[in-house]
């Protein structure tokens, strides 16, 4: 069987310091709903990737647990020999401290599931085991995973992979996947990578800061949503920061957003929501960009849009 790989991504820059709310986080309006969502607290996001640099100052205390499924000898050792997993983790949930950067959901916790080695390569079985682990995982205080984030892909549709993904979703966990970077800049031609192309997952395409679909972003009839994926600043190994580009960078914007949306919607409904309901709440917070559905799905994530509509209606009503 073929290997599963990191979706190829571009390293734009590596630097030692950063002190900002990254542009992508602002673009999806995350800071505007932080107060309402308590920054996503009490939600655990599973990052299924190359591991994580847990000593990074912006990720300290963020990791609630983890496991290594690669053929390394120690399954409790999930350090990141690649950089990709640390970058994804930071976008989803880096702490918004005095120094450093903020992730989408700064109060969410991370479950680090290492399924790819330092070369970004892994067996399908490692990924299947990792998904099942995240689905079944329970924290010391009964915490469960509320979103799974996967910025990886392969050309093969493996039935066992599909079963693992469906099992997670049936357990109430939204599964967020990068669309892939085999795009040819033509929305009318389809490019598929798995697990992203499964109908049941939330498949994320990438845009740049000018709200244009990234030329590399896969387009197909299963794209659900787009998020920033070009020149994305986040945490990196050796306690550094890096700007990377790829649909890999877009996916954790959505997994982090799910932590915020879950906090907001579940406090409004006063109960736990199903995976379908959480997906609906996410899609309510999108804005179409004018591209074909095969490129943008429901459009760009805009977390504060409902509050902005409400303000608009209030103004509208007082005018009459």
Domains defined along the chain, listed by start: 4-318 (3.40.50.200)
CA 105, 152, 242, 52 torsion: positive or negative? positive
Residue 270: strand, helix, or coil = coil
Closest CA to 44 of 153, 138, 165: 138
Q: Are 249 and 91 in contact (CB under 8 A)?
A: yes
**226 Cβ neighbours under 8 A, 6+ residues apart:** 204, 205, 206, 207, 213, 217, 250, 289, 295, 296, 297, 299, 300, 301
Determine the Cα–Cα distance for residues 54 and 72; give it in Å rounded to an integer. 18
Quick one: CA torsion of 89, 31, 240, 4, rounded to 10 degrees? Answer: 30
| Confidence band for 318, pLDDT divided at 50, 70 and 90 | low
pLDDT at 133: 98
Looking at per-residue pLDDT, the higher value among 316 and 106 belongs to 106
pLDDT at 207: 97
**9 Cβ neighbours under 8 A, 6+ residues apart:** 84, 181, 244, 245, 246, 248, 249
Asked whether residue 171 carries a pLDDT value surpassing 80, the answer given is yes
pLDDT at 260: 98
Determine the Cα–Cα distance for residues 232 and 58; give it in Å rounded to an integer. 16
Q: How many residues does the chain have?
A: 320
Token pair recorded at residue 261 = 């949306």
Closest CA to 130 of 83, 92, 157, 168: 168
pLDDT tens-digit map of 30-65: 999 999 999 999 999 999 999 999 999 999 999 999
| Confidence band for 6, pLDDT divided at 50, 70 and 90 | confident
**303 Cβ neighbours under 8 A, 6+ residues apart:** 28, 29, 30, 32, 33, 257, 260, 261, 285
**156 Cβ neighbours under 8 A, 6+ residues apart:** 1, 2, 124, 194
Asked whether residue 300 carries a pLDDT value surpassing 80, the answer given is yes
Whole-number average pLDDT of the chain: 93
Q: β-strands 286-287, 63-68: how paired?
A: unpaired
Catalytic residues, by residue number, are: 49, 84, 248
Residues 144-149: what's their mean pLDDT?
A: 98
Closest CA to 168 of 303, 295, 278, 249: 278
Determine the Cα–Cα distance for residues 46 and 100; give it in Å rounded to an integer. 22
Q: How far is CA 162 from the centre of its chain?
A: 19
Asked whether residue 285 carries a pLDDT value surpassing 60, the answer given is yes
**Cβ atoms within 10 Å of 244's Cβ, excluding its own:** 24
């Amino acid at each position: 069987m073929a290997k599963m790989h990191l979706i190829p991504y571009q390293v734009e820059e590596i630097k030692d310091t950063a002190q900002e709310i990254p542009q992508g986080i602002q673009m999806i309006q995350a800071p505007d709903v932080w107060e309402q969502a308590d920054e996503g607290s009490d939600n655990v996001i599973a990052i299924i990737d190359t591991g994580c640099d847990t000593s990074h100052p912006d990720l300290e205390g963020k990791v609630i647990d983890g496991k290594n499924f690669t053929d390394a000898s120690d399954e409790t050792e999930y350090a990141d020999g690649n950089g990709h997993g640390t970058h994804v983790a930071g976008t989803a949930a880096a702490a918004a401290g005095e120094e450093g950067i903020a992730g989408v959901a700064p109060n969410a916790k991370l479950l680090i599931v290492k399924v790819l080695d330092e070369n970004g390569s892994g067996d399908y079985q490692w990924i299947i085991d990792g998904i099942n682990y995240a689905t079944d995982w329970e924290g010391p205080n009964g915490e469960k995973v509320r979103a799974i984030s996967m910025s990886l892909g392969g050309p093969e549709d493996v039935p066992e992979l599909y079963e693992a993904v469906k099992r997670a979703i049936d357990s109430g966990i939204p599964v967020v996947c990068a669309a892939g970077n085999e795009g040819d800049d033509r929305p009318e031609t389809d490019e598929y990578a798995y697990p992203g192309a499964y109908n049941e997952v939330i498949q994320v395409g990438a845009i740049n800061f000018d709200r244009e679909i990234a030329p590399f972003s896969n387009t197909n009839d299963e794209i659900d949503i787009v998020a920033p994926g070009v020149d994305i600043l986040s945490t990196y190994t050796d306690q550094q920061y890096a700007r990377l580009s790829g649909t890999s960078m877009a996916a954790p914007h959505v997994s982090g957003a799910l932590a915020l949306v879950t906090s907001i919607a579940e406090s409004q409904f006063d109960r736990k929501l199903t995976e379908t309901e959480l997906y609906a709440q996410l899609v309510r917070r999108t804005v179409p960009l004018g591209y074909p559905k095969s490129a943008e799905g429901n459009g760009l994530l805009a977390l504060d849009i409902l509050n902005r509509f409400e303000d608009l209606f209030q103004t509208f009503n007082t005018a009459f």
